[in-house]
Chains A and B, each alone.
Chain A
Amino acid sequence: GESVGLHLPTLSVQEGDNSIINCAYSNSASDYFIWYKQESGKGPQFIIDIRSNMDKRQGQRVTVLLNKTVKHLSLQIAATQPGDSAVYFCAETSIRGSNYKLTFGKGTLLTVNP
């Protein structure tokens, strides 16, 4: 689970292993989810998104899984590389209304060991 205060959840993996980063969301009305990658001192970069009418979506080396029953989202990175080291965070919103702004999670720090 997430830590409080300044400490992010961390995940340390060996180069070449698969990584799984988790995100729990609380709003049952959320139906659109986005994963971002943020390297140290830089702005977040879009990785992949998924709508609630899907359970799974694949990109290049990344897969997002959505479990609406338990309000849980995961990002899987295949064959993790040192360049994948960053903070990963999810964002949620609802696309049904026009005024639901994005809510961001605190993130998970992924460290890839060569």
Chain B
Amino acid sequence: DGGITQSPKYLFRKEGQNVTLSCEQNLNHDAMYWYRQDPGQGLRLIYYSQIVNDFQKGDIAEGYSVSREKKESFPLTVTSAQKNPTAFYLCASSIGRRVNEKLFFGSGTQLSVL
């Protein structure tokens, strides 16, 4: 089955800790994205990558970091600098490199602070 796999489903972060959320896709899509979703809010873009070894900041990149070493993988690290990390994190991909295409989403990771 082709798709986007996010893991873990639930993640807990301690004070001062960095945590990494995994996102893997086997759709052979060029672009990948990370969004943050807070209750009752629209999706907000954290980072995106249109090609391997390149990525761009989105609207709320502070306190987050990413890498794109392989086309299939786009992990997101939530650093200790992110003071309000509790949210539902969604990874997405699109077929081409343009950022104005239809997105396909993973099943999400719920991050909570202990």
A-side interface residues toward B, CB under 8 Å?
A: 3, 5-8, 32, 34, 36, 41-46, 49, 89, 91, 93-95, 97-107
Instruction: Name B106's closest neighbour in chain A (CB-CB).
Output: A43
Given A43-B90, A93-B100, A106-B40 in contact, is the A101-B105 Cβ separation under 8 Å?
no
Chain B contributes a number of interface residues (CB within 8 A of A) equal to 23
B75 contacts partner chain A, Cβ-Cβ < 8 Å: no
Given A42-B107, A43-B108 in contact, is the A94-B100 Cβ separation under 8 Å?
yes
B4, B43, B107, B110, most chain A CB atoms within 10 A: B43
B-side interface residues toward A, CB under 8 Å?
A: 4, 6, 39-43, 45, 48, 58, 90, 92, 98-100, 102-108, 110
Q: Are B40 and A7 in contact (CB under 8 A)?
A: yes
Binding site secondary structure of chain A: loop
| Chain B residues, Cβ within 8 Å of A103 | 42
Given A93-B100, A98-B100, A102-B100 in contact, is the A44-B40 Cβ separation under 8 Å?
no
Q: List 5 A-B contacts (CB under 8 A).
A: A41-B110, A45-B105, A95-B100, A98-B100, A102-B103
Q: Are A98 and B98 in contact (CB under 8 A)?
A: yes
Closest chain-A Cβ to B91's Cβ sits at a distance in Å of: 8
Q: Are B40 and A6 in contact (CB under 8 A)?
A: yes
Closest chain-A Cβ to B48's Cβ sits at a distance in Å of: 8
B40, B48, B98, B107, most chain A CB atoms within 10 A: B40
Given A5-B40, A42-B107, A46-B104 in contact, is the A101-B99 Cβ separation under 8 Å?
yes
| Chain B residues, Cβ within 8 Å of A97 | 100
What is the bound-complex CA distance between A49 and B6, given in angstroms? 25
What is the bound-complex CA distance between A110 and B48, given in angstroms? 30
Closest chain-B Cβ to A30's Cβ sits at a distance in Å of: 10
Closest chain-B Cβ to A48's Cβ sits at a distance in Å of: 10
Q: Are A8 and B42 in contact (CB under 8 A)?
A: no
What is the bound-complex CA distance between A91 and B40, given in angstroms? 15
What is the bound-complex CA distance between A2 and B107, given in angstroms? 26
Q: Are B102 and A99 in contact (CB under 8 A)?
A: no
